Amino acid sequence: MGADRQSETSEAVEERAPDDVFGLLGSEARVDILRALGSRPDDEFSFSELFDAVAIDDSGNFNYHLEKLRGVFVRKTDGYGLTHAGKSVVGAMYAGTYTANAAIEPISADWDCLLCGGEMLIHYEDERVRFRCEDCEEGASFPFPPGNLDEFDRDELPRAFARWYHQSFRKLFNGFCGVCSGRVERELLHPPESIEEGRGPSEVAFECTRCGSFGVITGGSLVTMHPIVEGFLAEHGFDVSARHPSQIWAELDDHEAFYDGHEQPAFGVRFAVDDEQVVATVTADGFVEDVRREPRAD
Ligand SMILES: [Zn+2]
Ligand SMILES: [Zn+2]
């Protein structure tokens, strides 16, 4: 049964070699065509509309390049539009813009370090956002597209970074690679015993089965992606998509990670506000299960 489904999938997907596909982009005219289609990515262009939008005078030459893109980056139905891969290429052009100048002066995160109480600052360097404690230098980092930096005023950036973090890890939480949208596998990195050994928080690692892209998130942050936990926090006035999760824990009445009594090594996470708490298990294979809201225990 499994083997049958496998072969059906293989037949349905026509694979082309990456150098074949990317070789198609080695032409200014073709990049112009994609950029023009990307100016209205969900619309179709007629042939003459598209021809007018691109700086090529000779319609035979234009048609030659358009035909090269067809089937890979451009689809033709009634008119011309971008395929999923075509939209990704246009997205990558925007995301990578201004790479050379992408740096900012550190921004105050208005947030004290959970470990030492030091001041957390937000840095941006090497295409990554870093929330970093000025004293103990611990913190979190994650990629953010450099082309997005000047879409926001400086005072909007902390929230934009947090929202980006949230949507990137939610994609992983839901099982898709942030780079290629392939399927991801996951596992709990630190065994629960690490709490007793003082090794710090649990971590769940995600790896894409297709492109090999890799990401790590603490169990406590992962749990905040679960709809029941997100709802619990929202009802108590905390928007998990607007701030880094550990910034929110710092403001709860109580938060802890603990050894979970499941048969498999598992991590428990508990957040408490007022007279209510939410408890969740991070399983050995990195999933969030057994999430429940209940009266506060302590
Ligand atoms: Zn610190
Ligand atoms: Zn991938």
Q: Which of 235, 218, 216 is nearest to 280 (CA)?
A: 218
Distance 216 CA to ligand 1 centre (A): 20
Please give the pLDDT value at position 202.
Answer: 78
What range does the domain containing 57 cover? 2-95
Residue 274 has pLDDT above 50, yes or no: yes
Domain end point (choices 95, 119, 137) = 95
Distance 135 CA to ligand 1 centre (A): 5
Residue 180 has pLDDT above 90, yes or no: no
Please give the pLDDT value at position 2.
Answer: 39
pTM: 0.77
Q: Mean pLDDT across the chain, nearest whole number?
A: 85
Instruction: Say yes or no: 89 and 183 in one domain.
Output: no
Instruction: Say yes or no: 201 and 290 in one domain.
Output: yes
Comparing 33-37, 93-97, 134-138, which segment has the lowest mean pLDDT?
Answer: 93-97
Alpha-carbon distance 117 to 120, whole Å?
A: 9
Domain end point (choices 46, 79, 95) = 95
Distance 110 CA to ligand 1 centre (A): 14
- For residue 265, being part of any structural domain is answered with yes
Angle between helix 28-38 and 59-69 (nearest 10): 80
- For residue 155, being part of any structural domain is answered with no
Please give the pLDDT value at position 9.
Answer: 44
Nearest ligand (C-alpha, residue 138): 1
Angle between helix 84-95 and 28-38 (nearest 10): 100
CATH of the domain at 7: 1.10.10.10
pLDDT band at 45 (very low <50, low <70, confident <90, very high): very high
More confident residue, 266 or 288: 288
Sign of the alpha-carbon dihedral angle for 45, 47, 49, 50 = positive
Report residues near ion ligand 2: CB below 5 Å.
177, 179-180, 182, 208, 210-211, 213
- For residue 238, being part of any structural domain is answered with yes
Nearest ligand (C-alpha, residue 140): 1
Nearest ligand (C-alpha, residue 139): 1
Instruction: Say yes or no: 86 and 191 in one domain.
Output: no
- For residue 52, being part of any structural domain is answered with yes
Gap between the terminal Cα atoms of the chain: 50
Residue 262 has pLDDT above 80, yes or no: no
Residue 23 has pLDDT above 70, yes or no: yes
Domain end point (choices 33, 66, 95) = 95
Sign of the alpha-carbon dihedral angle for 215, 220, 226, 231 = negative
- What is the CA 145 to chain-centroid distance, rounded? 11
Please give the pLDDT value at position 100.
Answer: 53
Residue 6 has pLDDT above 60, yes or no: no
Which DSSP string corresponds to 255-297? Answer: EEEEEE-SSS-EEEEEEEETTEEEEEEE-TTS-EEEEEEEE--
- For residue 117, being part of any structural domain is answered with no
Instruction: Say yes or no: 187 and 278 in one domain.
Output: yes
- Given a contact cutoff of 8 angstroms between Cβ atoms, the answer to whether 280 and 289 are in contact is yes
Nearest ligand (C-alpha, residue 134): 1
In percent, how much of the chain has pLDDT > 90? 47
Instruction: Say yes or no: 298 and 186 in one domain.
Output: yes
Please give the pLDDT value at position 149.
Answer: 87
- For residue 118, being part of any structural domain is answered with no
Instruction: Say yes or no: 298 and 180 in one domain.
Output: yes
- For residue 147, being part of any structural domain is answered with no
Nearest ligand (C-alpha, residue 171): 2
Domains in the chain, number: 2
Residues of 149-164 as b/e, b for ≥16 C-beta within 10 angstroms? beeeeeeebbebbbeb
- For residue 105, being part of any structural domain is answered with no
